[in-house]
Structure 1
């Protein structure tokens, strides 16, 4: 469960706080677990909701125009490179918090935009916009790392 929290948090200390808060909620609500589905899935959902709750407290107003977005068609080259899981997750960790939240919920947790909007207290449009911006951010990060790798070889 620590890995779930760490995926959404900016550092280890924040993830530990989320984990502790999440387990307090698990223990306080253990009687509400209805044995429908896996216990791990139930706990995971509580952890994700705890992270979202903490995120909301820190950033009550989510702005979507903070970072530029590349338009479709820009930099459409396909690169032949491989990144390790750790390298890819490090890139995700570098995302701005609001983009990381939506990206993780949509891509890694399988939430719909409607679920993200309801859970994070944002509109469906903001969820879609933040996901698109997260993808562009990650694309740029991959391109930069590929360039670094290419220059290191030369």
Structure 2
């Protein structure tokens, strides 16, 4: 319990730091994926997108990973894209790729500089703790949001009506 409180407090501090003005933040933020490609959320218009803000150091985030893997496998053919946004102070692609391989992550994961991730988070209504899940409808608008861990059935209830 104490560890979770510390993780929550740390995440709260990190996500409330002031944002720097930049042209590459917000909904059009170019997200760097672990495969080296870039992606902007508007490119996924027409799909239902579950955006999961998480970190490798966050215990509730780690508990969600198997649920997100199952969700991606179950609903990809119906137009769902699970997109992980990893929050790290110093982006490290190799470390993240190893982590994804070790955990069998089957959905794209983006990472980036703190200001870029925070800019996207702000554009989607804010992220003040981890994990945070935002579900975007096929028009790219936030239709559902949740702070804290989710299980498969809770995720299913968030995405199924939009598919």
Task: Say which one has the larger Rg.
Answer: 1
Which of the five TM-score ranges fits, normalised by the shorter chain?
Answer: under 0.3
TM-score by length of 1: 0.24
**Structure ranking higher in strand proportion:** 2
More helix by share: 1
